[in-house]
Structure 1
Amino acid sequence: MVHTLEAHSPKDRAVDDVKSAPARRFGPAQYLALAGALLVGYQLWTLGAWLLSEPYVVTKGRDAYSLSWWWARGIEVAAVVIATTMLVSAIRESRRIGRMAFDLKLWIALLLTSFWDTVVNFFQPLWFYSTNFINLNEWWGHAPGFPSPAAGYEPFPVVALVFLYPCFVLEARIAGRIWSSIQRRIPGISNAKLMLLGLLPALAMGSVISMIFVLPHLWAGPGMGVMIIDTPNYRWAIAEFLYVGIWSITICALRFFVDADGLRITERKLDHLSPVNRNVVSTLATTAWCSLAVIVYSSGVALTGFHATSYPTGYPEHLPNVVCSIPGDPQTAGSHYGPCPGSPGFTMPIRGTAP
């Protein structure tokens, strides 16, 4: 009798309740949400300082009303239309199911992820955007711990990129249908093989997207190490070829793979939270998933910059503009950074030491 009473004492019942409540333990969603909160906090700090500095439009070399300029307008319009359509669709789905749909969380996460697009320039200016885009000077000049003296001078396409990232909600939807079709045709296919098959069209799509920007000289990555195309007018790195495919696969996988309850990894073990807190945590977790995919890949690419060769001299002025100086190219002389990576005798400057 004594044993029975002790086994069911209030203290023991409390311990039993804790042991029987696994949903309250931290899982991947909570850890990702914590990372997401830190990343968003860093963004808010950086963007706040950037806005207080009065951002400006970078116009050096802009080739107004040229084919490249009109091409940039077309990309911006397409990005806005597709992203807006995806947002409206996600909101309608949320209303239909009576809760925040995953695609709405993903849309928000991808919007926030656009902040990290040029983090590849952390050490050195490896990646350029054209001043033909609607742009403002980038915010990295106000980011804590960002060492490159070029930070803050490159134009950031605020319309094209901020809306382009949420467009990947559409790709994730299309991939979901393709992957479901593959599963029906090949029963029992493993997740790894499914993603490998999905990588092939993703790489093809990434190549198309790259050419849409590369051929009209709207972006370039001349400092990204191993090149597939290397001419005085064009460079296309293998890192650029792989980027869209590999990154988009991580987004598609997040949306596609669900558990028996239809929940993604960023939504699980949150039942003990209120609906509002559940949405906040899962959205932050989704943000971390998308943003970390960019940061991790870009970090690897940034290291290839230490093996860059001399940048091409055939770029139009609206592309490398004020970022760094290319030897033999007078239109880039007098930059804030100094000689571009790969230039003869190049040594990497640190913020505060550039000429």
Structure 2
Amino acid sequence: MDASITVSRSRAASDISGTDGTAVVRAWAIVGAGFISFMLYVVYHWVTAPYFGPTVLPPGVEVPLQFKIGTRAVEIGMSLVWIYFIYTQLVKPIRQTGQPNTLGLLGIGFFFAIFWDPSMNWIQQGCVYNPYAFNMGFLSGEIPGWMSPRGNLLPEPLIAWSGGYPGFLIWGCLFGLAAMRWAKSRFPAITNLRLGIVGVLAVMVFDMVLEMALIRFTGIYAYPGSIRALSIFAGHWYQFPIYEAIFFGGWWGLCAVLLYFKDDKGLTWVERGVEKMEFCKRSNFRKGMVRAVAVIGFCQTVELFIYVLPMPLLTANADPFPDDTPAFFTVGTGMCGPGTGLACPRPDLPIQRRNDLDKFSGAPQISHEQGAAVAAR
């Protein structure tokens, strides 16, 4: 009799195909929990570091008024957008059904993606931020294996991106969803693979247009360390590397594709089976938490492989910073430039590692121009 009870229980835990119906969501939740634990470890070491604090503009370095206005507009606008999505996609659905919408969970996943935002600077600096924005520096220097120096000084715009990452990325997903729905209505026989490609390409275009507008008109960030042959407006401070749209828009687009293909219960692939987990059966809260962590696991994994790993390799081969790069991006942050003791990256200089600053602190220091003059004699 005990054996028959065991058999019946094992059958109840399996779906019609004989496989564990909770395996997918369980695996993604474990992956998500691993990423969250790692990020908390890095954040702890960042906030307890002696250097923790804002990167402020030094005397004599000014930010033009238009970029002050643009930066504050992004901070306020994106905060309002995120509050709107929190209410419509998390609070309101929980009140009505006990569960948040997947779009809201994806917004949470995008919030955690801020952790990897400056990952293109892993080997050497390529992106810069406006220190006029509210910032506390950033945690890059505490990520194990981070190479480029002074990563802690990068003025990551925390208020702007806390709303901007979920807000902008949710907008992009909605754009990708609209493109896929249009393609499906226009070509009913289109395969799922081609439909997914349509969605990813649409988000890539969305990213390119949005980022170029943000850079040019708000001055909140820029990509001076880019490969000019692969950039739009190459040679100017507002240049935009096309590969940013390909890699960042690529992982972002796959999140839109995930959102498109839901089952009849409104669950994406990574959430399916959550209702079968014993841990979740009697608690809407635990069910929502497992779904959220699973979605975070998907977002983090796709971002890591499609964006975080390839972008530093491209930045390591970037051309020099454009001559018209505003001083508030370089000298203003203290990361590189005249008077900072560290030259901004360029191909004729060796790549500086963060431990090189201490290793060679006692060595004679001469400027690049002085070194070129000595070599010419």
Q: What TM-score comes out, normalization by structure 2 length?
A: 0.81
- Partner Cα separation in structure 2 for residue 57 and residue 149 of structure 1: 15
Indicate yes or no: 2:261 matched with 1:265: no
Deviations 1:183-205 (A, max 9, x none): 23321211221122234432332
Q: Give the distance between the partners of 2:22 and 2:256, measured in 1 at CA.
A: 24
Corresponding residue of 2:153:
153
Shift of 1:11: 3.0
Q: Partners of 1:16 and 1:93 in 2: how far apart?
A: 36
Match in the other structure for 1:142? 142
Quote the residue 2:116 is aligned against: 116
1:175–1:227: structure 2 CA closer, same or farther, 3 Å change rule? closer
Contact kept? 2:54, 2:155, Cα under 8 Å: no
Q: 1:62 to 1:203 in 2, by over 3 A?
A: farther
Q: Which residue is 1:207 aligned to?
A: 208
Deviation at 1:140, TM superposition (A): 1.6
Determine whether 1:72 maps to 2:71.
Answer: yes
Partner of 1:86: 85
Matches within 5 A, 1:1-355: 9-11=1-3, 13-15=5-7, 17-22=9-14, 24=20, 27-53=23-49, 54-60=52-58, 63-64=62-63, 66-90=65-89, 91-167=91-167, 168-216=169-217, 217-225=219-227, 226-228=229-231, 229-271=233-275, 272=277, 273-274=279-280, 275-296=284-305, 297-321=307-331, 322=333, 324-325=335-336, 332-335=337-340, 338-351=342-355, 353=357, 355=361
Return the alpha-carbon distance in structure 2 between the equivalents of residues 65 and 345 of structure 1.
Answer: 30
3-state secondary structure, aligned to 1:155: coil
Q: Secondary structure at the match of 1:342?
A: coil
* CA-to-aligned-CA distance 1:299-347 (integer Å, 9 cap, x gap): 101111232222222211111234543xxxxxx12436x3333242313
- What amino acid sits opposite 2:73 in the alignment? G
Separation in structure 1 between the aligned mates of residue 170 and residue 263 of structure 2, nearest angstrom: 20
In the alignment, the residues of structure 1 paired with residue 132 and residue 27 of structure 2 have an alpha-carbon distance, to the nearest angstrom, of: 40
Query: Is contact 1:120–1:301 with CA below 8 Å preserved after alignment?
Result: yes
Once the two structures are TM-superposed, the CA of residue 62 in structure 1 deviates from its matched residue by 5.6
Gaps of 5+ in 1: 1-8, 326-331
Query: Secondary structure in 2 aligned to 1:241?
Result: helix
* Deviation, structure 1 residue 238: 1.8
Q: Kindly state the Cα deviation for residue 158 of structure 1 after the two structures are TM-superposed.
A: 0.6
Dislocated runs of 4+, deviation >4 Å: 23-26, 352-355
Deviates more, 1:66-75 or 1:264-273: 264-273
Question: Take 1:250 and 1:131, find their aligned partners in 2: how far apart are those partners?
Answer: 32
Change (3 A) 1:25 1:96: closer
Task: Give per-residue Cα distances to partners, 1:199-256, cap 9 Å, x unaligned.
Answer: 4432332122122232244322233435323215443212223244323211211211
Q: Are the aligned partners of 2:226 and 2:319 in contact in 1 as well (CA < 8 Å)?
A: no
Kept in 1: contact 2:28–2:270 (CA 8 A): yes
Please list the CA deviations of residues 77-124 of structure 1 after superposition, one character each: whole Å capped at 9, or x if unmatched: 221111111111112123223323222322222212222211222222
User: Could you tell me which amino acid in structure 2 is paired with residue 294 of structure 1?
Assistant: E
> Which moved further from structure 2: 18-27 or 314-323?
18-27
For residues 258 and 269 of structure 2, the distance between their equivalents in structure 1, rounded to whole angstroms, comes to: 7
Say if 1:47 and 1:148 are closer, same or farther in 2 by CA, change over 3 A: same
2:221 alignment partner AA: W
- SS of 2:149 mapped into structure 1: coil
Alignment partners' CA distance in 2, 1:65 and 1:126? 22
How many equivalent pairs are there? 340
Question: What residue identity is the alignment partner of 1:194?
Answer: L
- Closer/same/farther in 2, CA of residues 56 and 324 from structure 1, 3 Å limit: closer
* Aligned 8 A contact 1:33 1:285 in 2: yes
SS of residue paired to 2:152 = coil
Name the structure 2 match of 1:3.
Answer: none
Alpha carbons of structure 1 residues 102 and 199: separation in structure 2 relative to 1, 3 Å: closer
2-structure distance, mates of 1:209, 1:180: 22
Give the CA RMSD over aligned residues.
2.5
Aligned identity (percent) is 20
1:177 Cα deviation (Å)? 3.9
Task: Give the aligned partner of residue 5 of structure 1.
Answer: none
TM-score by length of 1: 0.86
Cα distance change, pair 323–12 in 1 and its aligned pair in 2 (3 A):
farther
Aligned equivalents of 1:28, 1:58: Cα separation in 2: 46
